[in-house]
Amino acid sequence: MTRNYQLGDAWFVVSTGWWQRVVGRLMEDVDYRLVSERVWRALALEFGFDWEIRREVVTMGRRLAVDVYPAGLEERVGHSHVTAAVSGSGSASTSPPSSPERTTDLSAVAMDQWRNDLKMGQLVDALDTDSKWYEARIVDLADARAKVHYRGWSAKWDEWLARTSPRLMPLHTKVRDWRRFRVNDEVQVGEERPGKKRMQWRDATVLATVKSLLVQLQIDEDVHWMDAQDERLCPPGTHRTVNGAVNAETTTPSSGTSGSSNSFINITPTAARRKRLKTASTYSSFDN
């Protein structure tokens, strides 16, 4: 089975025993299977799961492969199976396992391929005009441009970027995967208000999670369940919050980069988002 790997995509390791209870006519001598993130989310919502084993597409030599460690699964074009390439030391390759805060080390050819293969709805990392990296979604495409929507911000800030712009990078190469919530994590929650264009943001604390899909939040005296992918969730330091007790500048980075720690930055912002500055790029435009 040939798979079309795309840099920045995530694949999931699924137990064969569990898979065979859901899908029949599978090879019994394979210990696990790889499914795309889209398929995994659909299966998880339909059947539930105990935990997820998320692995990402990386470069291995001249090939793209899912980095499953300690065994690296290597997809060979033309083969109908996946081969586990394990060295004598038990590691998949000489490259370290990929992480949500990995440093991008892609060839120019690989990056060109990734940019040319951008799709509607694809999640990416995007650098705004305040030089801050955010999770973003591709909401429109043109021959040489891609329009990004910054997650957690209104469509007012949607922006056209050239596909070749260094402000556009694969998901979680610049922004850490902060949506892998754990109990006691800090987060910001937006609330829509009737008659108001802007959402009201509050600081909240994670109380519990369910199968990496739902998160229970303590917001002041209230407790709410939310989808972990809800765009009304943002990491600390993104917005000004009405229940913040300590002032902090929004210039403090809140989205992790390759050199940041794995923990949330525990700050309470007070300054509103600064107006985006127009760039000199002829490919950039803004909504009023």
Q: Is residue 119 part of a domain?
A: yes
Q: Is residue 116 part of a domain?
A: yes
Q: Is residue 190 part of a domain?
A: no
Looking at residue 22, its pLDDT comes to 53
Burial class (CB in 10 A: 0-12, 13-18, 19+), 256: buried
Q: Is residue 136 part of a domain?
A: yes
pLDDT tens digits, 70-99: 343 333 333 333 333 333 333 333 333 333
Q: Is the same domain home to 81 and 112?
A: no
> What is the distance between the alpha carbons of residues 101 and 112, in angstroms, rounded to a whole number?
21
Q: Is residue 214 part of a domain?
A: no
* Residue 3: pLDDT over 50: yes
Q: Is residue 128 part of a domain?
A: yes
Looking at residue 168, its pLDDT comes to 94
Q: Is the same domain home to 23 and 69?
A: yes
269, 238 in Cβ contact below 8 A?
A: yes
* Residue 229: pLDDT over 70: yes
Q: Is residue 280 part of a domain?
A: no
Q: Which span out of 97-106, 138-147, 189-198, 233-242 was modeled with the highest average pLDDT?
A: 138-147
Report the chain's mean pLDDT, rounded to a whole number.
Answer: 68
> What is the distance between the alpha carbons of residues 16 and 31, in angstroms, rounded to a whole number?
6
Helical segments of the chain, H only: 16-22, 37-47, 108-116
Q: Is the same domain home to 124 and 63?
A: no
107, 64 in Cβ contact below 8 A?
A: no
Q: Is the same domain home to 66 and 114?
A: no
Q: Is residue 129 part of a domain?
A: yes
| Full residue range of the structural domain in which residue 129 is found | 108-170
Q: Is the same domain home to 55 and 118?
A: no
> What is the distance between the alpha carbons of residues 197 and 216, in angstroms, rounded to a whole number?
26
Looking at residue 150, its pLDDT comes to 94
Mean pLDDT for 125-143 is 92
Task: Quote the number of domains for the chain.
Answer: 2
- CATH (domain of 134): 2.30.30.140
Q: Is the same domain home to 123 and 166?
A: yes
* Residue 6: pLDDT over 60: yes
Q: Is the same domain home to 19 and 67?
A: yes
pLDDT tens digits, 181-228: 888 999 999 988 888 888 889 899 999 888 767 888 888 888 888 888
Nearest to 66 by CA among 40, 27, 28: 40
Residue 198 carries which side chain, given as an amino acid letter? R
> What is the distance between the alpha carbons of residues 201 and 199, in angstroms, rounded to a whole number?
6
The total of other beta-carbon atoms located within 10 Å of residue 238's CB is: 24
Q: Is the same domain home to 73 and 118?
A: no
Q: Is the same domain home to 117 and 79?
A: no
Chosen domain end from 117, 139, 170: 170
* 285 alpha-carbon distance from chain centroid: 25
Q: Is the same domain home to 41 and 76?
A: yes
Strand partners, 13: 34
pLDDT tens digits, 27-85: 433 556 788 887 877 777 776 655 567 777 877 667 777 766 534 333 333 333 333 33
Residue for token pair 């911000």? 153
**189 HSE (CA, 13 A, CB side):** 22
Q: Is the same domain home to 119 and 164?
A: yes
The total of other beta-carbon atoms located within 10 Å of residue 137's CB is: 18
Question: And the tokens for 218?
Answer: 């303590």
Q: Name every residue whose Cβ is closer than 8 Å to that of residue 240 and which is 6 or more positions away in sequence.
A: 201, 250, 269, 270, 271, 272, 273
Which percentage of the chain shows pLDDT scores above 70?
60
Q: Is the same domain home to 155 and 119?
A: yes
